[in-house]
Amino acid sequence: MIIILSLSHIHSKLSRDIGDLPAMLLPVGNKKLIEHQVVTFRKVFESESIVTVLPKGYCPTSNEQATFDRLSISVIFSDIETEITEILMQLLNELPQGFNEPIRIQLGNTWLYNIPTDNECLTVSNYLIDYQNNNRSNHNHCNAEEEADLSNEFFQFYNSFAKAWIGYVSFGSSSALLSVIDKVNGSSIGSSNALINKTSVDSITSTNSQYLIYEYFANLVYAYQQRHDALSQIMLTEWHDCNCDNGYFIARASLTTQRSFNTLCIMDGRVTKSSQDNEKIKAEAHWYKNMPEALNPYLPTFISSGFIDKGAKNRQYYYSLEYLQLFPLNELYVHGQSDHSLWKRIFNSVKEVFKINAENKYLENVCINDLEQYSCYLYEKKTLSRLNKYAKDANVSLKQPVFYEGKALGSIEHIARHCIDLTAALPFVPAIMHGDLCFSNLLFDSANNKIKMIDPRGIDANGNMSIYGDQTYDLAKLAHSVIGLYDFIIAGQYTLSESWTSQGYEQTLHFHKDPRRQQIQKEFFNTEFIEGFSTLDIMPAVVLLFLSMLPLHADRPDRQQAMLLNAIRIYKTFVLSHTIQDQKRELTHKKHSQEDYLNSDALVS
**Tens-place pLDDT, residues 557-579:** 999 999 999 999 999 999 987 76
CB atoms within 10 A of CB 186: 8
| 245 vs 255: CA distance, rounded Å | 16
pLDDT at residue 590 above 50?
no
DSSP code at position 149: P
List, for residues 270-290, the tens digit of each pLDDT value.
999 998 889 999 999 999 999
| 436 vs 454: CA distance, rounded Å | 9
Closest by alpha carbon to 155, among 188, 125, 181? 125
Distances in Å between the Cα of 419 and the Cα atoms of 78, 414, 543 are 52, 9, 7
Distances in Å between the Cα of 353 and the Cα atoms of 296, 340, 403 are 10, 20, 39
pLDDT at residue 209 above 80?
no
Non-local CB neighbours of 364 within 8 Å, separated by 6+ positions: none
Buried b (16+ CB within 10 A) or exposed e, 588-597: eeeeeeeeeb
Buried b (16+ CB within 10 A) or exposed e, 196-228: bbeebbebbbbbeebbbbbbbbbbbbbbbbbeb
Which of the four pLDDT bands, split at 50, 70 and 90, describes residue 21? Answer: very high
pLDDT of residue 183: 72
List, for residues 144-162, the tens digit of each pLDDT value.
333 333 333 333 333 323 4
Tell me which of 97-111, 178-192, 243-257, 361-375 is least confident: 178-192
Inter-residue contact 18 to 327 (CB < 8 Å): yes
Which of the four pLDDT bands, split at 50, 70 and 90, describes residue 133? Answer: very low
Mean pLDDT of the chain: 83
pLDDT at residue 188 above 80?
no
| 249 vs 270: CA distance, rounded Å | 13
pLDDT at residue 552 above 90?
yes
Encoded amino acid at 517, one letter: R
pLDDT of residue 257: 56
- What is the CA angle 223-227-231, rounded to 5? 80
The β-bridge partners of 465 are 459
Q: Where are the beta strands (DSSP E) in 208-315?
A: 232-235, 239-241, 264-267, 270-275, 302-308
Share of the chain above pLDDT 90, in %: 58
Q: Which residue has the higher pLDDT, 542 or 584?
A: 542
Backbone angles phi, psi at 356, to 5 degrees: -65, -45
Which of the four pLDDT bands, split at 50, 70 and 90, describes residue 505? Answer: confident
| 99 vs 167: CA distance, rounded Å | 25
Which of the four pLDDT bands, split at 50, 70 and 90, describes residue 80? Answer: low
List, for residues 315-327, the tens digit of each pLDDT value.
889 999 999 999 9
CA neighbours closer than 13 Å in the CB half-sphere of residue 321: 23
Q: Which residue has the higher pLDDT, 416 or 89?
A: 416
Q: Which residue has the higher pLDDT, 29 or 433?
A: 433
pLDDT of residue 393: 95
pTM of the predicted protein model: 0.86
Q: Which CATH architecture has domain 2-237?
A: Alpha-Beta Complex (3.90)
Closest by alpha carbon to 529, among 425, 420, 429, 419? 429
Which of the four pLDDT bands, split at 50, 70 and 90, describes residue 127? Answer: low
Which of the four pLDDT bands, split at 50, 70 and 90, describes residue 353? Answer: very high
Tell me which of 27-36, 66-75, 212-221 is least confident: 212-221
List, for residues 40-61, the tens digit of each pLDDT value.
999 999 999 999 999 988 999 9
Average pLDDT over residues 250-273: 77
Which of the four pLDDT bands, split at 50, 70 and 90, describes residue 14? Answer: confident
Inter-residue contact 600 to 580 (CB < 8 Å): no
Inter-residue contact 120 to 172 (CB < 8 Å): yes
| 75 vs 69: CA distance, rounded Å | 10
Residues forming CATH 3.90.550.10 domain(s) in the chain: 2-237
